[in-house]
Homo-oligomer: A and B are copies of this chain.
């Protein structure tokens, strides 16, 4: 037996007990006549003491040689600590070591194993097993486990059944790129890894499972943006005999449960907003509603006042930045440079300071009177002390640009409080979106999403205006879940594939099994999927999902710890009937 207790367990109650502990040497302090060692394991830290009056000289010598991250096992007596450490759960006691054994030595770690480390990200990823020893990383992984357990137990108690769907499935051209897996036994053929278990969960509904969930890995071979991973985890759910309202209720319940159980935060009914409103008010389908700065459209107030720039534009839209009237000209110029960056893409920006004394001063004083600017202030909801920023251009781009600015400013002004949770349902997403590259409509959610019955007639005339029974759960400016009511009859599904540019043959080859299934009594059904990595990181109060993934990949999709992917030898390629081309 390596230990009788963990390093986080001993208290004053244990004084005079003989105990055995095992763990890592966090730190040693050697005063010659006394040596203290902080011994660490997953559960905490305990101080060991070697003291020349009570410890043999051989043992003193051996203890003096202990280095950071050595793994040792000690036996000794729990004694009262002279100078107690109230910061430490075990701070009342220490262990007077009577025997100890080095279980494994350690080289000097490439970065410090402390809450704040001196290691850069690449280095920490290469030695991820050492990074995991640090409390923040370890606690993130334990937090993830806790959230997973809460989700599973909640859904299970609500009657959901976790069903494992296959990982080796079929490649389909719709959506993102698949990762594929060559089959040795079926020469020249490939499986694909699932981008989500979408069709399988629908088939489980056809199969009468009624309520399904799964916490499951999904895969997308996309060029990786920051904070995207080629493999990610989804809480995948589906229900039969439900309308949108039923689904929103159940998963609002789950989210409320998690916020309460994990964060101690009680939240009432989640607000709902249509996609159209979200775009109008926040320029974004996943608005962060923890702070104001709602968009105010100023076309009526700002056009035809002699300012040519505005007169030509489709949309003029502004926000009031709280307390920013005191910005210097330099600060404002920096903001203007910020919105002109290629990532944002604006041409410029108009500003108006609403001074504390109630006067207004703007970059367009030549064209707009004090009254004009007062009207802007009223429309944007600005108060004295606020800065009004106004952008213009075609509606879609301008909204996106102002949304980027709004988020940037909120971060700068510290308005994105990680301890505050502001969930929001965004509903009534468009069914289709126009894709300039391919010159056709794509499914905004996926091709299995049902159009709103009242909008079906528009499909023939204005497909872009058809709304779907699709919804996203947004929290603090992040999409954490999204879903829809699905199509459940063959005719509508075939029509949808037709709109999306599939020939009937293609539709049959790729999704024939699903359309077949719809002919044998498919129930109405719908579902949702939560991004588990994202959900955990938001609940945990961090912004990057990588902090909550045990072994993440870098931005080139590489695992730099194990050095994957790597080349195969020719024998292995030959067995797979494959050749690598240049």
Contacts and interface: CB of A to CB of B under 8 A. Distances in A.
Given A203-B128, A519-B106, A550-B204, A161 B142 contact: yes
Contact of A559 (B169, B204, B241): B169
Interface stretch (A355-363, A372-380, A384-392, A572-580): A572-580
B231 A168 contact: yes
A28 to B, nearest CB: 14
A179 B559 CA distance: 18
Contacts of A107: 519-520
B557 A167 contact: no
A210 interface: yes
Contacts of A314: none
Most chain B C-beta atoms within 10 Å of own C-beta, residue among A70, A166, A221: A166
Contacts of A310: none
A185 B104 contact: no
Nearest to A142: B161
Interface string A179-204: 11111111011111100000110011
Nearest to A189: B565
A355 to B, nearest CB: 53
A161 B566 CA distance: 30
B181 A566 contact: no
A163 B181 contact: no
B43 A164 contact: no
A262 to B, nearest CB: 15
Most chain B C-beta atoms within 10 Å of own C-beta, residue among A2, A164, A224, A577: A164
A142 to B, nearest CB: 5
A65 B2 CA distance: 72
A1 interface: yes
Contact of A246 (B1, B129, B550): B1
A184 B185 CA distance: 23
Nearest to A522: B104
Contact of A521 (B24, B149, B581): B24
A168 B523 contact: no
A489 interface: yes
Nearest to A217: B167
A471 interface: no
A513 interface: yes
A335 interface: no
A41 B207 CA distance: 10
Most chain B C-beta atoms within 10 Å of own C-beta, residue among A127, A129, A207, A224: A129
A328 to B, nearest CB: 44
Interface stretch (A30-38, A130-138, A461-469): A130-138
A219 interface: yes
| A-B residue pairs, 4 tightest by C-beta | A132-B207, A106-B521, A170-B564, A189-B565
10 contacts: A42-B210, A70-B521, A132-B209, A167-B167, A186-B565, A188-B567, A192-B564, A200-B550, A577-B580, A578-B580
